[in-house]
Copies of this chain bind each other. A is one copy, B any other.
Amino acid sequence: MAIAEQVDLASYCLETARKAKRASRALAAVSGAVRNHWLRESAAALRASIEPILAANQLDLAAAPSYGLTDAAIDRLKLTPARIEDIAIGLEQVAALPDPLGEIIESSIRPSGIDVQKVRCPLGVVFFIYESRPNVTADAAAICLKSGNAVILRGGKEALHSSQAIVSILVEVADRTGIPAGALQLVDTTDRAAVGHFLKLDGEIDVAIPRGGEGLIRRVVEEARMPVIKHFNGNCHVYVDQYADLAIATKVTINSKCHRLGVCNAAESLLVHQDVAAAFLPMIAPALTDRGIELRGCEATRQIVPTAKPATDEDFFTEYLGPIISIKVVASLEAAIEHINHYGSKHTDAIITRDLAASRKFAVEVDSAAVMINASTRFNDGFQFGLGAEIGISTDKFHARGPCGLKELTTYKYVVYGEGQIRE
């Protein structure tokens, strides 16, 4: 790239970010009614624009083989009238959610007489980097603007035409419904260097949210100067306690592992208390095998289930995202907790037990975003938890943990009312 182009790209990114920052200040004062009106009008506009959206999507589909996309990726890229209807319904659902802004989270009148209110407000500018599904474009725009944030969308080049078509509709509606100009912008260069420029602009961008493969997330974490809401692996466990109801253990293990293989909240590892291993493993092993799952077990597991392959230490660290499960027999609840905290990824871990003390100990000591007691790991999800919408599942502890919905895209400020109070 010539120097002039590099300068151009850097100034393009800076100008985009500054525009977003200015818009974010104005957007903080825009009422929920206006933001919801934009969402509902956008849904209507998408429904009225099926043809141009499909035409743009055709350009992406035509180029897909040249990007080496798999059939599954091409299917995710493909839009249909039904999928556009789903996108429109999604916008309406976000409109129907309660407005997170302005909530007084805490308040007190202090001895000095000042009235201290902790008030929920937007973070400011979100930089959202994602891969090729065009529906994510509309979802992310909806969640960010509903929570009062300006957003800079950077989608995959594979979906650029589709995303441009969708965003141009949402922006046109924004212009006529009172959303400040610049509140929604799509990065329209496919130059990868643009991401690097944006990630340096911590004066303009308040949070970066990467959504995609581990490589993308690691790059963003490495380069970002602003905070990142990130979502690493989900190496999730089901622990079958000595006091487990084995029917529940079977049902939950099968659902956690087999309901969907390639998702972050699928179980990758099964821990079984030694006192129930002889009863439980012969029940669960064929149930998993029948569903096409390969078993990789510790030595004690293989004595009970000889068909299981031997599991290495590496297996216990692995998020398979596929038809394999690692199995370990543990000596105690404590050993199970220690195993999970060592090998796990702080995402979602379940215990199956009838014992109250065991459930409470597991809940306190397992250091994960979600702890399930007698329920499938698959429930760790913004919709299942009642957040209404979700922009990702954070495996961090800072600011946002677990599913990130509207509230997780907000911060708070202190608003203090006095009548001339001063500090003595």
Say how far A343's CB is from chain B's closest CB, in angstroms. Answer: 13
Whether A341 pairs with B422 at a CB distance below 8 angstroms is no
**In this complex, which of A247, A370, A420 has the most chain B Cβ atoms within 10 angstroms of its Cβ?**
A420
Contact with B along A405-421 (1 / 0, CB 8 A): 00000011111111111
Contact with B along A344-387 (1 / 0, CB 8 A): 00000000000000010101110111111111101110001110
Q: A365 — nearest CB in chain B belongs to which residue? A: B29
A116 interface hit (Cβ, 8 Å): yes
Per a CB cutoff under 8 Å, which of B28, B256, B359, B421 touches A364?
B28
A17 interface hit (Cβ, 8 Å): no
Q: Within the assembled complex, what's the spacing in Å between the Cα atoms of A367 and B418?
A: 19
Q: Within the assembled complex, what's the spacing in Å between the Cα atoms of A112 and B378?
A: 12
Q: A255-B422, A364-B121 are in contact. Are A380 and B414 (CB under 8 A)?
A: yes
A423 interface hit (Cβ, 8 Å): yes
- CB contacts (< 8 Å) of A416 on chain B: these are 370-373, 375, 379-380
**Band of interface residues on A:** 35 or more
Q: A29-B365, A421-B379 are in contact. Are A227 and B372 (CB under 8 A)?
A: no
Per a CB cutoff under 8 Å, which of B364, B369, B420 touches A252?
B420
Whether A373 pairs with B418 at a CB distance below 8 angstroms is yes
Q: A341 — nearest CB in chain B belongs to which residue? A: B25
A245 interface hit (Cβ, 8 Å): yes
Whether A369 pairs with B413 at a CB distance below 8 angstroms is yes
Whether B374 pairs with A413 at a CB distance below 8 angstroms is no
A50 interface hit (Cβ, 8 Å): no
- CB contacts (< 8 Å) of A402 on chain B: these are 413-414
Q: A337 — nearest CB in chain B belongs to which residue? A: B25
Per a CB cutoff under 8 Å, which of B248, B363, B364 touches A419?
B248
Going nearest first, the 6 A-B pairs with the smallest beta carbon separation are A375-B418, A255-B422, A248-B420, A399-B399, A370-B414, A397-B411
